[in-house]
């Protein structure tokens, strides 16, 4: 498995090589076991670039209880979605626009759509995704065995600005 640091370094190089310092529609796929996730969480402790990033992480974590309840009611639910607005503005999606959890064949699929992301905050956000995945796997293991997680991250605009 590629580590968060290795992934960050490969993307940083790719961004720097672009003329306009932006990558459009970057897609990243992780296949993780619980041990992989715990290793990453123990290895790295990333700090947010801005206080709003830390607040955003707290909001995501707070919403996990509702997601878990959806799975308790229906393990095959397709409605396990977290969506935040940009600074509580209903007209604009937050930079991390959508997170979708789905379970099939004892695999937790975690699909994330990031509208816009500064490369400087990339590691912190990936760490947040690992943290959310670990918490979901822990909670879900109470009701169903989860063998691994497939984390798919789509980034609309990954930039240096």
- Taking the CA atoms of residue 14, residue 15, residue 16 and residue 17 in that order, the dihedral angle to the nearest 10 degrees is 50
Confidence band for 30, pLDDT divided at 50, 70 and 90: confident
Residue 19 has pLDDT above 60, yes or no: no
- Give 31-48 pLDDT, tens digit per residue: 777 787 778 777 777 788
- Tell me how many domains the chain contains: 1
132/149 Cα distance (integer angstroms): 11
Residue 90 has pLDDT above 70, yes or no: no
Enclosing domain of residue 33: 4-159
What CATH number does residue 99 fall under? Answer: 3.30.572.10
For the ranges 30-34, 117-121, 122-126, which has the lowest average pLDDT? 30-34
Higher pLDDT, 43 or 59: 59
- SS3 call for 118: strand
75/134 Cα distance (integer angstroms): 18
Burial class (CB in 10 A: 0-12, 13-18, 19+), 145: exposed
């Amino acid at each position: 498995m590629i580590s968060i640091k290795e992934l960050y370094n490969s993307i940083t190089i790719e961004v720097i090589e672009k003329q306009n310092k932006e990558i459009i529609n970057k897609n990243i796929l992780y296949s993780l076991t619980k041990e992989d996730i715990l290793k990453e969480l123990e290895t790295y402790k990333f700090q947010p670039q801005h206080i709003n990033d830390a607040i955003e992480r707290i909001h995501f974590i707070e919403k996990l209880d509702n997601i878990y309840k959806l799975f308790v009611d229906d393990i095959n639910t397709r409605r396990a979605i977290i969506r935040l607005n940009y600074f509580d503005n209903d007209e604009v999606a937050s930079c991390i626009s959508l997170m979708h959890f789905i379970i099939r064949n004892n695999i937790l699929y975690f699909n994330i759509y990031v509208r816009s992301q500064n490369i400087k905050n990339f590691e912190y956000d990936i760490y947040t995704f690992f943290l959310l995945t670990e918490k979901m796997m822990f909670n879900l293991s109470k009701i169903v065995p989860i063998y691994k997680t497939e984390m798919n991250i789509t980034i609309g605009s990954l930039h240096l600005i």
